[in-house]
Every structure is written in structure tokens, then in C-alpha cells.
Amino acid sequence: MTDTQAVLQDMREELETDSNSLRKISADFCEEMKISAAGRKSSLQMLPSFLDLPDGFETGRFLALDFGGTNVRAMLVELGNRSSAVLKQRSAPLRDPDGKYDYTAKDSSAEELFDFLARLVSSVAEGELVYYLGHTFSFPCHQTSLSQTKLIRWTKEIATPGVEGQGVGELLQAAFHRLHSRIVQTVILNDTVGTLLAASYADPSVEIGSICGTGHNTCFRDKGNNGVQPMIRNLESGNFSKVSMSVYDRQLDAASEKPGEQRLEKMVGGQYLGEIVRMMAMNAAAAGALSAGGADDLIQPYCLTTADLAFFMYPALFDRPKKGPHLSVQDEKIVAVLANLVCRRSARLAAATYVGILKYLDFNLTGVHTIGVDGSLYTKLPGYAAQLQEAVKEILPERSGTVRIVAARDGSGIGAAIAAAIATRQKYFDS
Ligand code: BGC
């Protein structure tokens, strides 16, 4: 007879992140930041955003485009007095659920993708006298000014050809041109930067912005020195490589679009959590701990989403019947145990990197620090926000009171509008 508990215990050990291993990750993360800051080869970057924190005087109506990898959202945002209101918004998936289009696929094109984005923004701008747009583009980019940026590489399994190495601003502006639109893209920013802007607009003590959603990444405010202006810098922390991978992580990485890249993101991001759980469940089935029928239902790669994991872990919070794989009650319980392990590990790894950044900014943690976080894991997955905070406490038992983690709701939308306000003001003074 199979000892299910023994199988689960082995998996628990394989994914273990005890306090010491988290402390080691924090120290290594801080070290990788120093290496990157010194201009040496590191798995982290210090990508410039050309934006500093808002001063609170950002006012007016701006357009925002939020392109993160799953859905695209266009918004009309009103800013004033350190608060914001979304006046209009429209969103659309990048992959049609009925399979009519998929702008993220290898057989789509840059032109199709950017025409789709331009149409969505124009539909929100219609009838309005607002033309200044902040564009959140949530991928690693090499930025040379507020609106000049080139995509370094796609992440989150996006494979649209003709965009890597190209100017993102030019691609969108050309699409507006094709539509005869007067919209001007004033700034392009990462979603972590948007999150930091939005969080610090509401609470000026925030100095770190992070996304725990489909993807994972963090940015921070670099105070600058020796003539270097203060600026928000994008770490592309999803690419952090000094984390030890379990057998399942290695399996997932090998089958991914970009093996070897985005190691941390493949352990933290919502794009991947369901797939890790699925791989574990298949192994559990091979060891006899999950039924053969359950294994058949989980055979398709990426058939488990983070929403499915939430359903298995917290069935009482959701209405039945649900979409996605239908498992027996016993199999659901096993998958729920695996989902708990994987989601908890995600929060703990992200927390370890936050401590690494805090150590880089203030080694003895003498000050009080605030981190603004957004993303579907943080805002929607029950328990995730608490696990993040608890892990910081566990890593820094004596100083944990000095670290605050706050929700930065809608950072990539509101943040894009704030960035547009900063950029428009900057252009006005420069001209
Ligand atoms: C991208 C980052 C982004 C993060 C969260 C990652 O895949 O590389 O630029 O901030 O996802 O959306």
C-alpha cells in the first residue's frame, strides 16, 4: 500500500525554505545587487527608469495603458491631491478564450499586437481631449529616456516575433499613426515602477515597489550619489539565479520558452505555480498517492491555473461547479497540500529578496522601510500577503517592526498615469 504521507513528506522536504535558507537568499540577493551596481555581470539589473518618486503635485487627466502579459487594460485616470480616480477603462485578453486570436503566440506579429493595444487605448480616449499616455510595459527593457526603450527579451512565455530588440515606443506610436490617432506616448515604464509611483503618491514613505502576480519583479528608489540623479531602478529580480531549484523547478525550466532564464520568477510567479503543482501531482500519481483518473485529468501542461490552486486550497470560499480539472475529493485534498507548499514557498522567496534590497539600502536597518506590492497573488490569493509579511518577520526577528508591506492597488494603471503627469511636466519645463 502507498504511504501517501511519506510521498507528501518527500515533496515537502524538496521544496523546503527554512529561515536559514531564506537568510542566505537575502544575503546573496544583496550581493548580486552590489555586483550589478558595480557594473559587473549579475543575474540582477539596475535598469534606469528616468523617473523619481512623485512630489504629490501631479494633477490632471491622463491615459494609461497596462500591458502585463495576460490582459491589456486602457484607462482614463484623473489625478489630484495625492489621490486618483479611474474615469473610464476597458480591458481585453491577449489570448482570446475562444481561440480566435493569440497575440502572444509565435505565429502572431508585432504589428498585430501593437495595433490591438492602440485600438484599446483609442477606444478609451474617444470623445475626450486627453492625449498624454503613460504606457506600462511589464518586461525587461533597456531604457535610454522616458519614452525610448527597447525590449531586451520577452518573459512569461510570450513569444510574439519582431518585438525583442525593438523600440517599444516606436512600435506603439506607429500603430497610433496607422489609426490616425493623436495620442502621444510620453513615458514607458515597468509595472514595478508604476507600483512604486502609485504607492508613494498615496504614502511618500514607500521606496520599493514589487509585483507578485503572473510574473514577479521588484524595483527600488536609488538615492543617487556622485552626480548620479536619484531614480527608480528596475532590478528584473525574476531573473535572480542564486536560488536552489527543486527537481520540479528544473523540469519546468527545461520545458519553458526560455530555459535557464527567470529562475526566481519560475518559482514565484503565478504563471508557473499551477504547473509546478501539476508536475508534483503527476509524480505523486506515479508513486500511487494520486488516482490514475486524477493523473489523466492533469496530463495537459499548464492546465492548472493559480485560480484552480486557490479553489483546491480554499474550497469553502468558492462556488461549485468550477472551471478547470475536476478531481475526486481525495485527489483534490492531495493537490491542495501541494498547492499550499508551492504558494507558501513563492511568498517566502519573494520576502527573502525584499530583505536583500532593504540590506542593500540600509544594512543595519536603522530606518523604517515601506514596500508597496501589487499583483494577483498578493491581492487575490488567500493567505499570500500574510505569508509574505510573516516571512520578513522570520528572517529579521529583531527588526521586523521597521518593515511595512502595503498594498499598492492598481499600481500599473494609476502608476502609468502618474508617470505621464511627471513626464508631461518635465517636457514642459525642458521646452
Ligand atoms: C518581467 C518584469 C515584470 C514582472 C511582473 C516579469 O516577467 O520580466 O519586467 O515587472 O514580470 O509583471
The length of the chain, given as a count of residues: 431
Q: What integer pLDDT is reported at residue 120 of this predicted model?
A: 97
Q: What integer pLDDT is reported at residue 321 of this predicted model?
A: 62
Q: What integer pLDDT is reported at residue 225 of this predicted model?
A: 84
Please tell me the residue having the least CA distance from ligand 1 atom 6: 215
| Helix, strand, coil percentages for the chain (3-state, nearest 5) | 45, 20, 35
**For the residues 69-89, what does the mean pLDDT come to?**
94
d(CA 7, CA 278): 15
**For the residues 327-350, what does the mean pLDDT come to?**
96
* Diameter over CA atoms, the chain: 78
pLDDT tier, 400 (very low <50, low <70, confident <90, very high otherwise): confident
Set out the domains of the chain in order of their start, with CATH numbers. 3-44+204-407 (3.40.367.20), 59-201+411-423 (3.30.420.40)
**For the residues 87-97, what does the mean pLDDT come to?**
95
Cβ of 276 below 6 Å from ligand 1: no
pLDDT tier, 1 (very low <50, low <70, confident <90, very high otherwise): low
Enumerate residues 6+ apart whose C-beta is below 8 A from 221.
52, 53, 196, 207, 208, 230, 231, 232, 233
402 CA distance to ligand 1 middle (Å): 27
Say if residue 393's pLDDT is above 70: yes
**For the residues 54-78, what does the mean pLDDT come to?**
94
Cβ of 191 below 6 Å from ligand 1: yes
Residue 124's φ and ψ, nearest 5 degrees, are: -80, -35
Average pLDDT value for the chain: 94
Catalogue the E-assigned strands of 17-59. Answer: 47-48
Rounded to 5°, angle at Cα 27 from 23 and 29: 115
d(CA 347, CA 408): 17
Catalogue the E-assigned strands of 227-368. Answer: 231-234
**For the residues 374-392, what does the mean pLDDT come to?**
96
Q: What integer pLDDT is reported at residue 320 of this predicted model?
A: 67
Angle, helices 270-286/306-313, rounded to nearest 10 degrees: 60
Q: Are 35 and 50 in contact (CB under 8 A)?
A: no
pLDDT in tens, 37-62: 999 999 999 999 999 999 999 999 99
The pTM of this model reads 0.95
Catalogue the E-assigned strands of 270-402. Answer: 369-374
d(CA 117, CA 111): 10
373 CA distance to ligand 1 middle (Å): 13
Cβ of 70 below 6 Å from ligand 1: no
219 CA distance to ligand 1 middle (Å): 11
Q: What integer pLDDT is reported at residue 429 of this predicted model?
A: 58
pLDDT in tens, 93-144: 999 999 999 999 999 999 999 999 999 999 999 887 878 999 999 999 999 9
Question: Which residues pair with residue 90 across a beta bridge?
Answer: 74
d(CA 172, CA 177): 9
Please tell me the residue having the least CA distance from ligand 1 atom 2: 139
3-state secondary structure of 68: coil
Please tell me the residue having the least CA distance from ligand 1 atom 12: 215
Residue 270's φ and ψ, nearest 5 degrees, are: -60, -25
Say if residue 324's pLDDT is above 80: no
pLDDT tier, 177 (very low <50, low <70, confident <90, very high otherwise): very high
